[in-house]
Structure 1
Amino acid sequence: MRRSIILRIVLASLISGCASLNQQAIEFRISNGIAFEFNSGQFDTVDIQPSETQIWRSSELVGSVATMETNADFSTAVEEVRQGFREARKSSGDVTELDLGEGVYGFSATINGYTTAFIATSNHPSSWVTISTADDVFYQVLSTLAVH
């Protein structure tokens, strides 16, 4: 009996240890001080393009990150993202204002199985960020979001 219990504990330890290695969080850092994590088990390829970074799993796009320059019509990135929120609310998608803390403004929009966060910080008025992921991982990614 004792041997059976010890064997089960060892087996459970091995299985859970292997599982945690496959789900290691990878931190993505964006030039304007925003960082987030994506579990390594949710992607197998990072494709760095000139205007965005794409995150893939088994030939399926599961996420992307892009830094956008603030349009000359706006004095700050926060102002531009706020205007984007007002415009997005007029669409048929699910649009949610995000609570990201002082000096950070953002919202998310969900359309066709993907959710995109539009985020600007007052510390970086000349650019803002989009983080887009498949719906099933968006809130996990969002929960790790940090502004440095």
Structure 2
Amino acid sequence: MQKTIALGFVLVSLLSGCATTGQTPIEFHTSNHLTFELGSGRFNTIDVQPFETQLWLGSAMVGSLMTMETSPDFDTAVDEVRQGFNEAQRSSGKVVQLDLGNSAYGFSVAVNGYTTAFIATSKHPTSWITISTQDDIFEEVLSSLSVSKTRE
């Protein structure tokens, strides 16, 4: 009888969402001190390329991360991303300026089922990053995005 009651509590916990289901968020750290999380159920393979890290779920690429060096035409990465925002506003995609606080600047563009964020931080003026994901994943990334402290 006690085993049945205990099993009942476990089942109720699973059905009500109180128990963990193995969808642990994975924390990503980028070269310009950004961090974000993505649930482990959103991807099952990380493919590290020379200039890009790709996230795959089965045979579908669900996201990618790239670090871009700041062009010599700009004093800082933030200046370059601001210019990119001005140019993106003339595109056909949905362009949104991101609210990232005082130490970062970024925007996102949604086109053809993918949303790409272009983000620079004042702490790292020599490069900026792009985070591109399928539209249904982007909000999860954006909601956890923050500028981290420099690792010692």
Above 0.5 in TM-score? yes
SS in 2 for 1:101: coil
- Provide the C-alpha distance between the structure 2 equivalents of 1:10 and 1:24, rounded to a whole number of angstroms: 19
Percent identity between matched residues is 59
Aligned AA (2:123)? N
Runs (4 or more) in structure 1 with deviation over 6 Å come to: 2-5
Counterpart residue number, 1:72: 72
Runs (5+) with no aligned partner, structure 1: none
Counterpart residue number, 2:26: 26
SS in 2 for 1:117: strand
SS in 2 for 1:12: helix
- Provide the C-alpha distance between the structure 2 equivalents of 1:18 and 1:97, rounded to a whole number of angstroms: 34
SS in 2 for 1:35: strand
Q: Which has the higher helix share?
A: 1
1:81 counterpart = 2:114: no
| Residues 103 and 147, structure 2, Cα contact 8 Å, conserved in 1 | no
Number of residue-to-residue matches in the alignment: 146
Q: 1:5 to 1:51 in 2, by over 3 A?
A: same
1:134-145 map, 5 Å: 134-145=134-145
Deviation of the 1:73 alpha carbon? 0.6
Aligned AA (1:115)? T
SS in 1 for 2:125: coil
Runs (5+) with no aligned partner, structure 2: none
- Provide the C-alpha distance between the structure 2 equivalents of 1:18 and 1:115, rounded to a whole number of angstroms: 29
- Provide the C-alpha distance between the structure 2 equivalents of 1:6 and 1:125, rounded to a whole number of angstroms: 56
Deviation of the 1:13 alpha carbon? 3.1
Provide the TM-score with structure 2 as the length reference: 0.89
SS in 1 for 2:124: coil
SS in 2 for 1:140: helix
Alignment root-mean-square deviation, CA: 1.9
